[in-house]
Amino acid sequence: METVAVSATPELAEELLRWFVSQGEKECFAATLFTCYELLRPDVVAEVAWMNKLGDFAMPYMVQVIKEYTGKVDLLMSERKEAKEAEKGAVEAIKQQQAAANSYAMLMPLALPAPGQGGGPELGYAPHPGIGGVPPPGYGPAAGFTGQPY
């Protein structure tokens, strides 16, 4: 049993388990479950135990496996819940940023020109063509000026 456990070969552990059952060595079957615990698959242990009426010998192994699997599932579910909450928090933060930007835009006076639409060089805007500035290309009498701004 110890040699198989050290070998870390699941196939050898299952073969040894079946050999002890074929020899009628119930106590060795139970000892193999303990010694080779990490190598044995729960479905194989359950099948061998059920087919050979060794449920009482396999039950401690099965209880431990169920306990481990339940712990792993609980951990995964809590991590998933935390990830969903973090994602939800990120979405809420983005919504708040958008709402703040929208409320700022709503508070801006409508009479002010938007950037790039005039307002004078002191504000960093291009000069308005009708207020002492140089008209942009395509604006004026040569371009068929009709009195309407571009």
Contact 40, 17 (CB under 8 A): yes
Task: Please state the pTM of the whole predicted model.
Answer: 0.56
**Could you report the per-residue pLDDT of 25-70, keeping only the tens digit for each?**
999 999 999 999 999 999 999 999 999 999 999 999 999 999 999 9
CA distance 61 to 57: 8
**Could you report the per-residue pLDDT of 11-26, keeping only the tens digit for each?**
999 999 999 999 999 9
Residue that wins the pLDDT comparison between 30 and 139: 30
- Predicted pLDDT at 2: 92
For residues 93-120, one letter each, b for 16 or more C-beta atoms within 10 angstroms of the residue's C-beta and e for the rest, the string is eeeeeeeeeeeeeeeeeeeeeeeeebbe
CA 41-31-20 angle, to 5 degrees, is 80
Query: CA nearest 1: which of 42, 34, 35, 25?
Result: 35
Sequence-distant (6+) residues with CB within 8 A of 138 are: 150
